[in-house]
Structure 1
Amino acid sequence: MILPNRGMKLTKETDEFLRRMKGRTKVTPNILARMAFFISVESGNRYNNEPIDLDGTLSLDKVTWLGDTTLATEMTLQMLYPEHTSQENTKAWAYHVMQGSKSFRNAKSIEDLVF
């Protein structure tokens, strides 16, 4: 199993940021997380097993977090981190969401996310 089916969390900082972004853009945290993950991967960021606290309060199952991108996300993680355990992949996923979300820190509307 690449990612666990239940209880996936982000860092507290990322969690709070995605909630604030929802208020500004009306885009839900799970959709923002999907965007951020792929932005981070495409930007060349890589998780090097550095310590990361998954202490956010938003705990969702894999299907809710990833939706239609589940297969693509898990295959990307498997390709980038073939030796990782499910727990390490969860941290890598959270790392990529954290890194990718930085690219839309200044977004004030959904239009800012698209362009």
Structure 2
Amino acid sequence: MLPNRMQLSRTTEDQLKKLKAYTGLTPNVTARIAFFRSVESGFRYKGMGDTKKNDGSLVLDKITWLGDTLHLTELTLKMLYNGMDNREYLKAWAAHVDDGISSIRNHKSLSKFVNAI
């Protein structure tokens, strides 16, 4: 469902990298957390009207981005946005990561990050 190669927007990617510098958690792990925080918060991708570009330089395969949450992430996207094509699912995933990172990006240590989630 999701394409094999995936990337986020440059700003989201920068926030993930800063969070890695503060906490030591890799961008793919924090992207997973951000995705599910966004889904839990009730955020919904609006579809074609979203003009944010996925122009980051960190292009990873979906196994690396999603790890053990691959099937759960794809099923969640399918449940929320049934009938989209693969590119739209990618944009929806990226929009959720972008939304979810806003609630966790300011933590300056791993202990504060863990306590917050």
TM-score by length of 2: 0.94
Instruction: Structure 1: state its 5+ residue gaps.
Output: none
> What's the % identity of the aligned pairs?
51
Question: Does the CA-based 8 Å contact 2:19-2:106 persist in structure 1?
Answer: no
Partners of 1:52 and 1:80 in 2: how far apart?
20
1:34 to 32, 35, 48: 32
Deviation at 1:111, TM superposition (A): 1.4
Partner of 1:106: 106
RMSD (Å) for aligned C-alpha atoms: 0.7
Moved segments of 4+, more than 6 Å: none
Between stretches 44-53 and 26-35, larger displacement belongs to 44-53
Whether 2:88 is the aligned partner of 1:91: answer no
Partner of 2:21: 23
1:63-104 deviations in whole A, cap 9, x for unaligned?
000000000000000000002110000000000000000011
Partner of 1:9: 7
Deviation at 1:13, TM superposition (A): 0.1
Partner of 1:72: 72
Partners of 1:107 and 1:114 in 2: how far apart?
9
TM-score by length of 1: 0.95
Partners of 2:18 and 2:7 in 1: how far apart?
17
